[in-house]
Amino acid sequence: MKRILQITLITLLTVFFIGLFLWKSNLSDVWRILLTTNIAWFAIGFIVNGSALLFRTIRWRILLHASSPPPFYPTFFANTMGYMLSTILPIRAGDVARPALLARRTSVRFSEALGTVLTERVLDLLSILLLFEFFCVYRWYDFPNGVVHGGAMIAGAMLAALVLLILGFRFFGDHIRRLHTWLGRFLPQRFHEPWMRFFDAFAGTLEITGRPMALLGVVATTVCIWFCLSAQFWFVLIASHRPLPFDSSFFLTAATTVGVAIPTPGGVGGFHKVCQYVLTTFYGFDIDSSVAVAVLFHIVGTLPVVVVGLILFLREGLNWRQLTQETHVQQT
Domain extents for the chain? Answer: 23-327
Percent with pLDDT over 90 in the chain? 39
What's the sign of the alpha-carbon dihedral 29, 31, 33, 36?
Answer: negative
pLDDT-derived band of residue 37, with 50, 70 and 90 as boundaries? Answer: very high
* Residue of 100, 37, 73, 92 lying closest to 235 (CA atoms): 37
Q: What pLDDT is stored for residue 198 in this prediction?
A: 67
Candidate from 8-22, 188-202, 210-224 with smallest mean pLDDT: 188-202
Give the span between the Cα atoms of 195 and 314, in whole angstroms: 34
**What's the rounded mean pLDDT across residues 323-328?**
62
Mean pLDDT of the chain: 85
Give the span between the Cα atoms of 261 and 114, in whole angstroms: 20
**What's the rounded mean pLDDT across residues 127-134?**
92
Q: What pLDDT is stored for residue 164 in this prediction?
A: 85
Q: Which residues contact 258 (CB under 8 A, 6 or more apart)?
A: 274
227-282 pLDDT, tens digit per residue, is 999 999 999 999 999 999 999 999 999 988 877 777 777 778 888 999 999 999 99
* Residue of 85, 76, 83 lying closest to 323 (CA atoms): 85
166-182 pLDDT, tens digit per residue, is 777 777 777 777 776 77
Q: Say if residues 283 and 268 touch (Cβ distance below 8 Å).
A: no
Return the axis-axis angle of helices 287-315 and 27-35, rounded to nearest 10°.
60
**What's the rounded mean pLDDT across residues 212-226?**
92
Q: Give φ, ψ of 66 to 5 degrees.
A: -60, -40
The runs of H, that is alpha helices, within the chain are 2-22, 27-35, 39-64, 72-88, 94-105, 110-138, 146-171, 173-184, 192-206, 212-239, 248-261, 270-283, 287-315, 320-327
Q: Is the pLDDT of residue 111 over 70?
A: yes
Give the span between the Cα atoms of 331 and 91, in whole angstroms: 11
Q: What pLDDT is stored for residue 332 in this prediction?
A: 46
Quote the pTM value: 0.85
Percent with pLDDT over 70 in the chain? 89
